[in-house]
Chain A
Amino acid sequence: MKKAFWSNSKIAILGGGSFGTVLANIAAQNCAAVTMYVRAEDQARAMNSTRMNPNYVKDLVLDSKIKAVSHYEKVFEQPLDLILFALPSHATREQAKIVAPYLKGSEMILHATKGIEEQSLKRISTVLAEELPVVRIGAISGPNLAGEIAKGEPAATVVASAFDDVIAAGEAVLSTPRFRVYTAHDLIGVEWGGTLKNIFAIASGILDSVGFGWNTRSLLLSRGLAEMVRFGVAMGAQSETFLGLAGMGDLIATCSSNQSRNFRVGYHLAKGETLDAVLAELGQVAEGVRTTRIVYEFARERGIEMPITESVYKIIQGQWSVEQGVQHLMTRPQVQDEWV
């Protein structure tokens, strides 16, 4: 029953970035039709004619069921069963507002954004719930570097939602023999896990740049995880979630891969470049820089202890040198903590 329904389903993916494209290709294996919304008309046209999206994912041939469009009317021409948001955090609300009138209410919503809304500190699923006439919303998160998935290397993700309906949809649509779906109800934990790890990716880049070895790196990862748990629990998440793919898993992938934008920000900062110079060179916004500031300020106000975040923040702001940041962490008073 379930399989039959989803293999006849029609889904849409909003956002033509690297992860969106990869997800579209996966979903096409399980669904009847996949529509991809991309902003630029020529990108859509190129994707439809060349069956490639080379600016984002090299060497990935798009499945024949995928159709790229650049107008929302076209996306919603036919009733959809699942809509996947793969947009940067700052664009989500604005796009959701535009999409809202098209929705019928029976669609399931998933998003793959690893970030939060800047001013309000709201999670993306909350933003979507505020803007869309739908409440069955979930998130996809995990160690999912798009390039590796595109090559067909084995990988897994977490689909989280309060609703089993959404989880079942995510499972049916995204499972393939090379891509495994785990499920969770702790949406708060999964979304915060994906967001918070970016802070430590910057820190990891800094350590790599300075040339510290594996002891230091794993020190960062484990104490970073402790900070993620502390913050996440304060936001209403369950600590266990952070031990899984969407927490520890994602943290390891992002902190070890030098492809990560956040990692590169840290790497160049530690070489003595200013933040503006680094960001300009990167050409894209690194979510981690914003996340660090928001999380740092929030945690300080609320008395959540996050020393690594504090150091990263001060290094980013140019207030501390790397050495000062490291010294701050290593010479803190001894603490008692469950997560040692």
Chain B
Amino acid sequence: MIDPRTGSHPSVRFEHHPAVRGEIYRLDDRSYRQSIIDEVVARTLQDVQYQDPRLLLEETLYHERMRLRKSRAHWLTSPYIAARNQRDRDFIRSIRSGLRNTVGLEDYRHLLENYTDHFGSEICGNFEPKVYDFAIRAVPWMFSWLLNAASLKRILPWGMSESLNTRLKVVGEVDHLQRLAEKGTILMVPTHMSNIDSILIGYVIHLMSLPPFAYGAGLNLFTNPILGFAMSRLGAYTVDRQKVSGLYKSSLKNYSTAILKRGIHSIFFPAGGRVRSGAIESRLKLGLLGTALQAQIERYQENHPNPNIYIVPMVMSYPFVFEASSLIEDYLEQAGKHRFMPNDGAEPFVLFNVIRFFWKLFSSRSELWVRIGKPMDVFGNFVDENGISIGPNGTSVDPRRWLMSEGELKTVPQRDREYTQILGEKISTRYHAENVVLSSHLVAFSLFQVLRKQYPQLDLFRFLRLAEAQRMVPMDRFYEEAERCCAMIKKAANSGKLHLSHTLQCGDVKIWVEDGVRQLGLFHDAKVAKIVTHDSAAAITTDDMNLLYYYRNRLTGYGFGKLDEASQSRDIFGETDEKGFLV
């Protein structure tokens, strides 16, 4: 029996498991890459076969022109993006001149094919084993150097010998995942809080002795020359979120389908981008997710020996989040519109800050949790150790039968959209269930709640602008609320709705509150929570209400605090509130 709180893997043992050379190694072959691009082009052209090619071309050109006009990339500040833009401009010019000299339908089709090929080549990732081998040696070395250098600063008793395992907790279904990776194709779907995620995930994949994964990385990750060099050779494919034309989106989806169909383990963030609010994703982008089902159908149709695709959620819990303040500003600005007054200043994603983040993480006793969720099939059914899907009542499900319509295993677009939507809901539910709550989250939650109770009549955005004197909470009152909240989430943890960090599991309230306050104060300049002396008594307060709100939001979607969700998504009663009150 697996202990639900610590997961099957208290500390990950990596080297013991033989690494399998994944299908991704074949990306090193130029002709193999070309075959993928060709497939992307063919699929995309098929997607748009009923559209007027000329209109489609013009529409794509329009979107691209608009994007380039708005793009502020400069050769000096972001050479990578500027170079890409220049390439796009040249290409657009050639298409436009082509359009002017075109008369026949066939010519339009040809131009369209060129355009798709342009997108496909741009998306397609490379994989160079040599770079990979170098990276898997260099990155752990760098981490442990950073870890030990940071620890030394504090003269910790265990000095140089500290290993990363004590700081990076990889828990959950690691064994299960390792076994499934040999039986089928893995699609990892992590939560996305921070740009750090990408680095962390790559590292965790390596720790688990899994073959490298292909993943869609936003352009910003390529802008750093070192990171960009590594990324583009480690199977990452490029996702340009500024490109909004249907043709590009379709190409991107088809790329994902093509590599999954070839059995290349993949990762993408189903939420599309980082979560602004700090909450766990409850709305996922279904377009990309649908590629898993499509690839699954085709693998069945082609009778692959190991046809199954497994969806594995992954939830990362950070004690503090790298770009929290800019994210929450973004979120509040969108949700609050005129009711929100923005501040200035955001952290740019530069290498220095990344190092600073890890330095802070390692130099304190902070823990970073990565939880590997229960693997599922493409419909969101759990799969057992042998890769068999398990339905309700312990029935075993043959996914092929779910794909039969009128006696045939085939693609049915409407049905597949519904299936994908169900999968999206399942993933979101699992995200909540696999979440590891840290003491910092609970401190933020409790402090927010206790303050909110004092000012229930205030609109959320007015509430976030409380004056400093109003934010003071006497310590004993705070402890009372903290204990109430802790009891609440312990109850939720016992019924499998979430997980608790070790500190929260065993600690009495003073210990975890102290820990949480310290964690919240580590990274940000403004202290998210701090204990002060007020009227000669201990009190707790915050320097930054927005950040407090951000960390507090990690515990939304469980029905703990019905008030205060700025967006109404999970707050509508009835069917949409499956998390709480109907149970």
Contacts and interface: CB of A to CB of B under 8 A. Distances in A.
Interface of A: 1-2, 5, 97, 100-101, 103-106, 120-122, 129-136, 162-165, 188, 234-236, 302
A235 to B, nearest CB: 4
B418 A101 contact: no
Interface in B556-581: 572-576
14 contacts: A100-B392, A104-B398, A105-B404, A106-B401, A120-B582, A122-B582, A131-B392, A132-B391, A162-B418, A163-B414, A163-B418, A164-B414, A165-B412, A236-B572
A135 B406 contact: no
B581 to A, nearest CB: 9
Contacts of B412: 164-165
B395 interface: yes
B576 A135 contact: no
Contacts of B396: 133
Nearest to A236: B575
Interface string B403-439: 0111100001011001100100000000000000000
A135 B392 contact: no
A168 B412 CA distance: 13
B219 to A, nearest CB: 36
A188 B575 contact: yes
A5 B573 CA distance: 41
A146 B572 CA distance: 37
Given A106-B402, A106-B404, A165-B405, A131 B393 contact: yes
Given A164-B412, A236-B575, A236-B576, A132 B406 contact: no
Interface of B: 379, 381, 391-393, 395-399, 401-402, 404-407, 412, 414-415, 418-419, 422, 572-576, 582-583
Given A131-B392, A234-B573, A105 B398 contact: yes
Nearest to B408: A5
A98 to B, nearest CB: 9
Contact of B393 (A1, A5, A101, A106): A101
Given A104-B398, A130-B392, A133-B391, 14 more contacts: A5-B407, A100-B391, A101-B393, A103-B395, A120-B583, A121-B582, A133-B393, A133-B395, A136-B415, A163-B418, A165-B415, A234-B574, A236-B576, A302-B573
A116 to B, nearest CB: 11
Contacts of A236: 572, 574-576
Given A105-B402, A106-B402, A135 B379 contact: yes
Nearest to B405: A165
Nearest to B395: A133
A130 B395 CA distance: 12
Contacts of B379: 135
B577 to A, nearest CB: 10
A106 B575 CA distance: 26
A50 B414 CA distance: 44
B551 to A, nearest CB: 30
B537 to A, nearest CB: 40
Contacts of B573: 234, 302
Nearest to A4: B406
Contacts of B419: 135
A105 B395 CA distance: 10
Contacts of A134: 391, 402
A251 to B, nearest CB: 21
A163 B395 contact: no
Nearest to B402: A105
Given A97-B393, A164-B414, A104 B575 contact: no
A104 B402 CA distance: 9
A121 B577 CA distance: 12
B406 A2 contact: yes
Contacts of B575: 188, 235-236
Contacts of A133: 381, 391-393, 395-397
B352 to A, nearest CB: 48
Nearest to B413: A164
Contacts of B407: 5
Contacts of B398: 104-105
A101 B574 CA distance: 30
Contacts of B415: 136, 163-165
Nearest to B574: A235
Nearest to A123: B575
B401 A5 contact: no
A130 B418 CA distance: 16
Nearest to A132: B392
B422 A135 contact: yes
B406 A100 contact: no
Nearest to A129: B392
B211 to A, nearest CB: 31
A170 to B, nearest CB: 14
Contacts of B583: 120
Nearest to B391: A133
B562 to A, nearest CB: 11
Nearest to A1: B406
A133 B583 CA distance: 21
A62 to B, nearest CB: 27
A302 B407 CA distance: 45
A45 B370 CA distance: 61
Contacts of A164: 412, 414-415
7 smallest beta-carbon distances between A and B, as pairs: A133-B391, A105-B401, A236-B575, A106-B404, A235-B574, A106-B401, A100-B393
A135 B422 CA distance: 9
B382 to A, nearest CB: 12
Contact of A105 (B393, B397, B582): B397
Contacts of B381: 133
Contacts of A130: 392
A188 B572 CA distance: 15
B286 to A, nearest CB: 14
A131 B398 CA distance: 16
A310 B575 CA distance: 22
Contacts of B395: 100-101, 103, 133
A103 to B, nearest CB: 7
Contacts of A121: 582
A132 B399 CA distance: 14
Contacts of A234: 572-574
A221 B130 CA distance: 76
A132 B394 CA distance: 10
Nearest to A108: B405
Nearest to A5: B406
B414 to A, nearest CB: 4
A83 to B, nearest CB: 14
A122 B393 CA distance: 18
B574 to A, nearest CB: 4
Contacts of A5: 406-407
Nearest to B380: A135
A104 B582 contact: no
Nearest to A107: B401
Nearest to A101: B395
Contacts of A165: 405-406, 412, 414-415
A130 B402 CA distance: 16
Contacts of B582: 120-122
A136 B419 CA distance: 9
Contacts of A235: 574-575
